[in-house]
């Protein structure tokens, strides 16, 4: 079975690396991390993601641009926000999003 591809976007490098590590702790998931809008959009165009996770520190204007761009490429993409709270909360948010219970 292929891993579920998750694009993680965050402005704080240390936090971004932690979130990537936590996501990748699940053997069914594979996270790709990006710190800038340009990196995130380029990665999204190159790879088929099932979920986009927006971390803290992303300005509202950037969030709107990212969401609009991702949905123009893939209308079915699930996008969620994660502002912290530990690995248990992160996993629960991802599971709920993948089951269609939460999304932006």
Whether residue 104 is contained in a domain is answered as no
pLDDT reported for residue 69? 98
Whether residue 103 is contained in a domain is answered as no
Whether residue 23 is contained in a domain is answered as yes
- Say if CB 83 and CB 37 are below 8 A apart: no
Where helices occur in the chain by DSSP H, the ranges are 13-24, 37-46, 60-73, 87-98
- Say if CB 81 and CB 51 are below 8 A apart: no
The whole-number average pLDDT for the span 18-40 is 96
Cα 50-51-54 angle, rounded to 5 deg: 160
pLDDT reported for residue 104? 60
Q: Which residue has the higher pLDDT, 8 or 82?
A: 8
- Per residue in 35-92, pLDDT (tens digit) is 999 999 999 999 999 999 999 889 999 999 999 999 999 999 999 998 777 668 899 9
Residue 70: strand, helix, or coil: helix
The count of structural domains within the chain is 1
CATH of the domain at 25: 3.40.50.2300
Asked if the model's pLDDT at residue 102 lies above 70, the reply is no
pLDDT reported for residue 87? 67
What range defines the domain where residue 89 resides?
4-98
Asked if the model's pLDDT at residue 103 lies above 70, the reply is no
């Amino acid at each position: 079975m292929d891993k579920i591809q998750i694009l993680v976007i965050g402005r704080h490098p240390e936090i971004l690396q932690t979130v990537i590590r936590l996501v990748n702790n699940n053997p069914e998931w594979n996270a790709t991390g990006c710190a800038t809008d340009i990196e995130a959009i380029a990665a999204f165009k190159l790879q088929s993601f099932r979920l986009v996770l927006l971390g803290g520190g992303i300005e509202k204007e950037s969030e709107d641009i990212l969401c609009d761009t991702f949905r123009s490429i893939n209308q079915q993409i699930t996008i969620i926000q994660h502002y912290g709270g530990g690995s248990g909360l992160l996993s629960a948010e991802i599971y709920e999003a993948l089951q269609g219970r939460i999304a932006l």
